[in-house]
Amino acid sequence: MAWLKYIYGFIVILVLQLLCCEFVNLWPMLYIALIPIMVILLPSSVSTYAVMLCGFAIGLLTDALADGILGLNAACCTFIGACKNMITRPMMKYQIQGEDSSVEGFEFRKGKLVALLTICYTLFFVPYVLIDGAGVSGVWYLVARIVLNVVVNVIIAFLLIRLWIRRYF
Amino acid sequence: MKLPPLIFNSIGKFLVFAVLETVCILLIINSSIVQNYRIMEGVRNVQSFFWEKSTSLKKYAKLSDSNRKLEEENSRLLRQNLFFRNYIIRTMGESKLEEISGQLKDNASDSSLTNYSFTLAKVVKNTLNSTHNYLIIDKGKKDGVTEDLGVMTPSGVVGIVRGVGERFSYVHSFLNLKQSISAKIGSTESPGTLRWEGGSIYKAYLNEIPLNTEVSKGDTVYTSGNSSFFPSDIPVGRAVSFSIDNGAHKKVEVELFQDFSNLDYVIVLRNQDKREIDSLSAILPPEPKK
């Protein structure tokens, strides 16, 4: 049943992401990315292979449904998928001290959750901005874009997880 | 030897990651022109790096051969110089030699070559087996190379720079069906179009020579200087035979002086007046009123 909840949650986030891509155009520099949340929140018991494949599938689905560069979200989500377990597992161990193994990413305390989201969104936006900018823009523009996107998206993801996902799961 | 499971697992993860990312990159390349161009530029830079290293190794292995050729060339030029000096002294006297030397120095400052600056570049890659051959040279934007610069060697014309990266440039070889240069034959001033038409890398054809132009076997073919790529009077080849093309022009078969199979270093020519010439060429004459 837990998997059904995840799938339902993913569908909601995917719909929100597509709505953001279609209707939320705040600034050309800014991209509201909700799909990395789906990859970050996958249970820690899922193997890295499966996380990478899920990231690839989720990214590709978003690329196919939204009006963007096909493969861009898929590449970045796969990248997060490859690193996700390496980041979350040590964080979990530190928190639970080897006793409670059921603590997942969305159950982290505020500080740890922000750290997790910041690392994952940085991993997402560094390749995203570099490929999207593709050497057309200057270095400082790219750095500013990465920082802005990471900050805004971490805030949005944090609120989404604390206000909805944490209660829902 | 059996691999430990941890290493085996890590290699497996890396392979899956590499495959998925490769699929993504291929999708990106196929769906966007800008990304395609930039990613391929990156790939070309990596390729150029390896080509440069392998060429350096090959050059190093051929160093004694290059030195021997240089020595031969030096001694040939020295012999030629001595021959002409002796000939002038014998026939016209020593005072005439000084007079001619002075004249040559004066003329050197008026030569068409004074408008050009030269950059020596090493050939990193040189294709010969295609009908659209190209070269990669180890000079790029940071060395002041830009698009549309002529490339030559002392033996003749090599091609024209068509793409410039930070450290390397892409040169359309003269051995490219899309490439032609303006050339003239012997001492005539009628320019024609010198073009390689495939086949032998030592043969090209000078087209559109007026029927009234005298053409003899063995005449030297020079650059005409009608384009801003190359200065005039650079010898590029020797006339081997000629025919009448469509009853309107002469078509001359030219044996090229340049041996494209043995290109190590080239000279990139920058015409100082090119920008001004191009800006004037861009001004089209007004359309006649009907």
The pLDDT tens digits of the residues spanning B55-64 come to 788 878 888 8
Mean pLDDT of chain A: 81
The residue to which tokens 């992401």 are assigned: A17
Q: How many CA atoms lie within 13 A of B88 on its CB side?
A: 13
Paired strand residues for B116: B271
Q: Give the pLDDT band of residue B161 (cuts 50, 70, 90).
A: very high
Q: Give the pLDDT band of residue B284 (cuts 50, 70, 90).
A: low
**Cβ-based contacts under 8 A for chains A and B:** 60
What value does the mean pLDDT take over residues A144-148? Answer: 91
What value does the mean pLDDT take over residues B153-167? Answer: 87
A chain contacts of residue B25, beta-carbon cutoff 8 Å:
71, 75
Beta strand pairing call for B220-223 and B180-185: antiparallel
Q: Is B33 on the interface with A (CB under 8 A)?
A: no
Q: Is B26 on the interface with A (CB under 8 A)?
A: yes
Q: Class for domain B119-272, per CATH?
A: mainly beta
Q: Is B13 on the interface with A (CB under 8 A)?
A: yes
**Reported pTM:** 0.50
Q: Among partner residues A52, A69, A136, which is closest to B20 by beta-carbon distance?
A: A52
Measured CA to CA, the distance from residue A40 to residue A31 in angstroms comes to 18
The residue to which tokens 């179009």 are assigned: B193
CB contact under 8 A, B26 and A79: no
Q: Distances from the Cα of A109 to the Cαs of A79, A92, A103, A134, B287, in angstroms?
A: 25, 11, 10, 37, 76
**pLDDT confidence of residue A102:** 52
Q: How far is A34 from chain B (nearest CA, A)?
A: 19
Q: pLDDT by residue (tens digit) across B199-237?
A: 888 899 998 888 888 888 888 888 888 877 888 888 889
Instruction: Compare all CA atoms of chain B with the CA of A132 and give the residue at the minimum distance.
Output: B35
Interface test with A, best of B9, B11, B21 (most A CBs within 10 A): B21
Question: Taking 50 as the threshold, does the pLDDT of residue A94 lie above it?
Answer: yes
**pLDDT confidence of residue B242:** 86
Question: Could you tell me what percent of chain B has a pLDDT over 70?
Answer: 91
Question: Taking 80 as the threshold, does the pLDDT of residue B36 lie above it?
Answer: no
Measured CA to CA, the distance from residue B205 to residue B198 in angstroms comes to 10
Interface test with A, best of B10, B14, B15, B28 (most A CBs within 10 A): B28
Measured CA to CA, the distance from residue A71 to residue A59 in angstroms comes to 7
B chain contacts of residue A134, beta-carbon cutoff 8 Å:
34-35, 37-39
**pLDDT confidence of residue B247:** 79
The residues, any chain, with a CB within 8 Å of residue B125's CB and separated by 6 or more, are B48, B51, B55, B134, B135, B136
A 106-145 residues inside an 8 A Cβ radius of B = 131, 134-136
Nearest to A153 by CA among A13, A30, A21: A30
Mean pLDDT of chain B: 82
**pLDDT confidence of residue B290:** 46
Q: pLDDT by residue (tens digit) across B265-276?
A: 888 988 877 777
Question: Taking 60 as the threshold, does the pLDDT of residue A97 lie above it?
Answer: no
How big, in percent rounded to 5, are the helix, strand and coil portions of chain B? 40, 30, 30
Q: Among partner residues B17, B27, B37, which is closest to A71 by beta-carbon distance?
A: B27
**pLDDT confidence of residue A116:** 87
Q: pLDDT by residue (tens digit) across A14-57?
A: 888 888 877 776 666 788 888 898 888 888 788 889 999 999 99
ipTM of the predicted structure? 0.80
Q: Class for domain A2-168, per CATH?
A: mainly alpha
Nearest to A127 by CA among B206, B3, B24, B281: B24
